[in-house]
Homo-oligomer: A and B are copies of this chain.
Amino acid sequence: MEKVKVQNKREAILKATLKMVNNHGFHAAPMSMISKQAGVSPGTIYLYFENKEDLINTLYRELKAKFAEMIFSGFDSDMTVLDGFKVIWGNVLAYKCNEPEEALFIEQCDNTPMISDENKQKGYQAIQPLYDLWERGQREGVVKPFSRIMLFSFSLLPILYLVKESLRNETSLSTVDIENAFKASWDAISL
């Protein structure tokens, strides 16, 4: 029970950081604001994190790890390449829709010098199973012989962007939109 409380505090701080940085931007989210949002004293943050940079980096790392785990939910390397891709593609969509705040935070961080390169690198490695799937697809002759990054930018980046924009405009993607988007994604990278 004691341990639970501690976990709660750490989690509360991370959650508050996510919210405050998303709403105000990194440099307009003071530690005092984060601590207040977390229901905690400013000094307490420094019991769990070395400094502000560490706080942000830790949050980024944990969110990326969670993302990497979620997108492979229900995925099995025995699936056909198309089926596997469909599962992962759907998971990416679902994550972005269900956890838009987390997704936004990750994106903000990716375009900022406040996340260490080492940390960013780790994020990419976490989706290795997807790279493996694509490579199998290339060996089987169903996926275009593109680099990982090209495959990513044509088959996953668009849907990530689409969801982000639909959330920003407070519109929603229709089932047809989603089907179309998946088809376009697959068309772009499949032979």
Please, which residues of chain B bring their CB within 8 A of the CB of A157?
153, 157-158, 161
- Residue from B24, B27, B150, B158 in contact with A153 in the complex, judged by beta carbons closer than 8 Å: B158
Please, which residues of chain B bring their CB within 8 A of the CB of A162?
149-150, 153
CA–CA, A161 to B161, complex, Å? 11
Count class of interface residues, chain A: 20 to 34
Please, which residues of chain B bring their CB within 8 A of the CB of A25?
112-114
Chain A 156-185 per-residue mask, 1 if CB under 8 angstroms from chain B, else 0? 011101100100000000000100110011
CA–CA, A27 to B72, complex, Å? 36
Asked if A107 CB lies within 8 Å of chain B CBs, one says yes
CA–CA, A177 to B177, complex, Å? 28
Chain A at the B interface: mostly helix, strand, loop or mixed? helix
Interface-central residue, A24, A25, A150, by most chain B CB under 10 Å: A150
Chain A 1-27 per-residue mask, 1 if CB under 8 angstroms from chain B, else 0? 000000000000000000000011111
Contacts A150-B177, A154-B158 known; A144 to B184 CB distance under 8 Å? yes
Please, which residues of chain B bring their CB within 8 A of the CB of A161?
149, 153, 157
CA–CA, A146 to B150, complex, Å? 22
CA–CA, A28 to B111, complex, Å? 14
Asked if A187 CB lies within 8 Å of chain B CBs, one says yes
Chain A 107-133 per-residue mask, 1 if CB under 8 angstroms from chain B, else 0? 110011110000000000000000000
A contact set with B: CB distance below 8 Å? 23-28, 107-108, 111-114, 144, 146-147, 149-150, 153-154, 157-159, 161-162, 165, 177, 180-181, 184-185, 187-189
